[in-house]
Amino acid sequence: MSRVDHRGRHLDRIAEVRAGLAAEKVGYPIGIRETEVVRTAMVGAGLLRLTLGGPGAEGFEAHAPDEHVKLIFPDPDGTLRLPERNGAMLRWPRPAVVSREYTVRRYDPDAREIDIDIALHDGGLASDWAREARPGAVVHVAGPPGGLIVPHSYDRYLLAGDLTALPAIARWLEELPGSAKGWAFIEVVDAAQEIELSAPEGVEVRWLHRGDLPAGDGDALVRAVTGVTVPEGERLYVWVAGEAGQIKPLRRWVRDELRLEKADHDITGYWKRGVADFDEDDHH
């Protein structure tokens, strides 16, 4: 019984926050599940979509565009060590297991499929694994631990990020109400990395091409974002993710220029140049 009660509580909380005025992180019970690769496919030139399914995907929960899971990989010697369920949490083994964190792009409860779009880069543990993954390959998925629930009551939404943020931005645009207004800025190498997005009519989507600049370099994203004009008196929600150093000026802009309350923005370093397994929570 207790599990059912617990589940009900977080679902009620999600509904309350979504119907309210300010965004809030809501935790869900964290599971660990064994899934299998159903298929892989390229989405544009930059993202590889990993579709996971099998009995282990049943009952997965997805409630927020930026929620994430950890894919767990064997240790270098081939040993697979997994966290264990501990009530609504996971107990992780020590030393730390080999894992990589990804946004949940889509969950289809009828097909029991979880889509994860992986930004490909050379020498990336998970992207190398995903390129080689064949249907039937087993992968363990931990989470999501919860997500940021953003009400649909803001006047405008500003979404911005690079290729690593694109899966979350794509889901954001799908899940916003059709009446939503705002902007989405996405920095990619070139038009080949652009993908089809399903955005509300009132949200202007702008692709920024960085060309030969290395990922995480240049100020095109910051310039584009800080160039918007927010109509006087409107409530704005800002969501930004990407390379930690590159998006730093946007933290200052949101704080000093826009003067947004803490609950009205979320700016997250998804990766850091030169750091293989960057987790912003460890670097605050």
Q: Left, alpha or beta for 276 (phi > 0: left; psi -120 to 50: alpha)? A: alpha
**For residue 41, what are its two tokens?**
């496919």
For residue 6, the model assigns a pLDDT of 54
Q: What is the pLDDT of residue 280?
A: 59
In which band, very low, low, confident or very high, does the pLDDT at 185 lie, cut at 50, 70 and 90? very high
Residue 49 has pLDDT above 60, yes or no: yes
**At residue 79, does pLDDT exceed 80?**
yes
Position 23, amino acid: A
Q: What is the pLDDT of residue 8?
A: 73
b or e along 143-162 (b: 16 or more beta carbons within 10 Å of the residue's beta carbon)? bbbbbbbbbeebebbbbbbb
Q: How far apart are CA 60 and CA 75, in angstroms?
A: 26
The fraction of the chain above a pLDDT of 90, given in percent, is 86
d(CA 3, CA 260): 37
Report the length, in residues, of the chain: 284
Q: Are 221 and 162 in contact (CB under 8 A)?
A: yes
CA 260 to mean position of chain CA atoms: 22
pLDDT at 273: 83
Number of other residues whose CB lies within 10 A of the CB of residue 270: 25
Banded pLDDT at 76 (limits 50, 70, 90) = very high
| H or E segment to which residue 49 belongs | strand 47-53
Q: At 278, is the pLDDT very low, low, confident or very high (cuts 50, 70, 90)?
A: low
Task: Give residue 123's pLDDT.
Answer: 78
What confidence tens digit (pLDDT) does each residue in 22-47 have?
A: 999 999 989 999 999 999 999 999 99
pLDDT, tens only, 213-257: 988 888 999 999 999 999 999 999 999 999 999 999 999 999 999
Q: How does the average pLDDT of the chain come out, rounded?
A: 92
The average pLDDT across 250-266 equals 95
| Average pLDDT for 53-58 | 95
Q: What is the dihedral of CA 68, 167, 199, 64, to 10 degrees?
A: 0
Token pair recorded at residue 228: 């918007």
Give the pLDDT band (50/70/90) at residue 2.
Answer: very low
DSSP-based helix, strand, coil % in the chain, nearest 5: 25, 35, 40
- Checking 190-199 for CB contacts under 8 A at 24+ apart, the result is 192/44, 192/45, 192/46, 193/44, 193/45, 193/46, 193/47, 193/163, 194/44, 195/43, 195/44, 195/47, 195/166, 195/170, 197/169, 197/170, 197/173, 198/170, 198/173, 198/174, 199/173
Q: How confident is the model at residue 7 (pLDDT cuts 50, 70, 90)?
A: low
